[in-house]
Amino acid sequence: MTLKAHLPVGLITKLSLEDAIILRDKKYRINNMIVDLMTGAVNFVLISDWLTNEEWSAAGSSVTNYNFDATGGSFNFLVSVGRDSYVEIDAPNSPVFVVPSISLPATITTSQTLGITVPVNNTGADRTQIITLRYYNSSSNLVFTQTIYVIQSASDGFLLMESGDFLLLENLGQIET
């Protein structure tokens, strides 16, 4: 289950991945949360605290897209690991162009931030990187699958040499088409 909420910064800083949220008399554990400190928006991925093992495995999945222009950039993704559980993070699909903050593939047992850096795209082609996270409960049953798509557009409007580098003017500015 996903939930979006706007919370005061004071409350956001007190939230822990060990906390539970009660909605309509049902208790949920925080499996993942993405926080925008500028707006106070928090996107929660919640898992029902009362599911049987069979229901855990059918809990679901979600997809998150991060779009970048040719200049690249970076983002941080909070990987929340619940009590007595773990998360497997696959290596990105090939060819790899993103730079993760931790060596992938990885299995993590404590909550941490996964940083992703997207370098400049001077290939002349759009590109997509896929990173899959699989969340498991204490019984090693698959609970949730999170798929991250990093989508980067190609550089437009500049002449490229055969090597993929930009043709430059004497003042090192790029030649526009």
For residue 49, what is the DSSP state?
T
pLDDT computed for residue 55 by the predictor: 45
The verdict on residue 52 lying in a domain is yes
Residue 168: inside a domain: no
Residue that wins the pLDDT comparison between 144 and 129: 129
Which domain range does residue 103 map to? 2-152
**Residue 83 placed within a domain:** yes
CATH label of the domain that carries residue 41: 2.60.40.10
In a domain, 106, yes or no: yes
pLDDT-derived band of residue 25, with 50, 70 and 90 as boundaries? low
133-138 average pLDDT score: 90
**Span 79-100, average pLDDT:** 89
| Residue at 141 is within a domain | yes
Share of the chain above pLDDT 90, in %: 26
Asked if 96 and 90 count as a contact pair (C-beta separation under 8 A), the reply is: no
Q: What's at 65, amino acid-wise?
A: N
Best CA proximity match to 83, nearest among 19, 18, 13, 7: 18
**What helix, strand, coil percent values describe the chain, rounded to 5?**
5, 50, 45
Specify which of 44-48, 56-60, 167-171 reaches the highest per-range mean pLDDT: 44-48
89 domain residue, yes or no: yes
In the chain, the number of structural domains is 1
pTM of the predicted structure, to 2 decimals: 0.58
* Residue 140 covered by a domain: yes
Give 78 or 155, the one with higher predicted confidence.
78
Average pLDDT, the chain: 80
Does 109 fall in a domain? yes
